[in-house]
């Protein structure tokens, strides 16, 4: 009986590549892909409300990159094989300068008409799309059994993080997203609250 079980286990690994997906994997992949689909559709809706050419250019660059990512995911999900276009690397246009500190600003309330949708709103929506996709792709990669699809999901997370960071930098320099800091003493205390493990250098 044990030999028969071993043969069954060995046989299961010989499934066609396009069927080598677990159930939980497919649920999480479906959720990640549905979220990306919705995000791409939202980007389409947002573009018409953008005033700043820089933000419009960023949105268009994101959409082109995410369209290719979507196609790569669809192909890998269907075939279980290496996709024709592998996961690319996103290169953001923003520099890494962050403005720290809080400036006085008016309290924000939800827009009450479409005419009130501005660049601050749109950049916030873009951030929401990217954060949710980064989380969904991370969870999907942790549940995926097919090695190619797992790698596509996992390799896409740094790109989604990079795009979200690019949106943050844009928001920050326009004072849409301000970054408060702790007092110097508190900051130093937290930065120095961990010590390295001694004697762990590789031999």
Positive or negative, the Cα torsion across 109, 112, 117, 118?
negative
pLDDT of 1: 53
Regarding pTM above 0.95, the answer is no
Out of 17-21, 77-81, 169-173, pick the least confident. 17-21
Domains, the chain, in order of start with CATH, read: 21-94+117-177 (1.20.1260.10)
Q: How confident is the model at residue 106 (pLDDT cuts 50, 70, 90)?
A: confident
Per-residue pLDDT at 139 exceeds 90: yes
- The pairs formed by 40-46 with CB atoms below 8 angstroms and a separation of 24 or more are 40/66, 40/67, 40/70, 42/125, 42/129, 43/126, 43/129, 46/122, 46/125, 46/126
CA 191 to chain centre: 27
User: What is the percentage of the chain residues whose pLDDT exceeds 90?
Assistant: 76
């Amino acid at each position: 009986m044990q030999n028969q079980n071993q043969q069954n286990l060995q046989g299961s690994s010989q499934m066609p590549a396009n069927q080598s997906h677990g159930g939980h994997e497919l649920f999480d992949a479906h959720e990640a892909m549905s979220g990306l689909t919705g995000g791409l559709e939202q980007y389409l809706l947002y573009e018409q409300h953008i005033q700043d050419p820089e933000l419009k250019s960023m949105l268009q660059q994101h959409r082109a990159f995410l369209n290719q990512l979507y196609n790569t995911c669809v192909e890998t999900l269907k075939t279980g094989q290496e996709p024709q276009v592998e996961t690319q690397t996103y290169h953001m246009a923003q520099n890494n300068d962050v403005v720290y500190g809080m400036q006085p600003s008016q309290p924000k309330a939800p827009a009450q008409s479409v005419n009130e949708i501005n660049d601050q709103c749109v950049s916030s929506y873009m951030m929401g799309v990217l954060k949710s996709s980064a989380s969904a792709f991370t969870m999907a990669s942790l549940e995926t059994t097919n090695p190619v699809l797992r790698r596509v999901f996992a390799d896409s997370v740094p790109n989604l993080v990079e795009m979200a960071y690019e949106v943050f930098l844009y928001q920050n320099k326009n004072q849409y997203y301000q970054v408060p800091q702790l007092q110097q003493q508190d900051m130093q205390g937290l930065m120095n609250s961990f010590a390295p493990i001694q004697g762990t250098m590789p031999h």
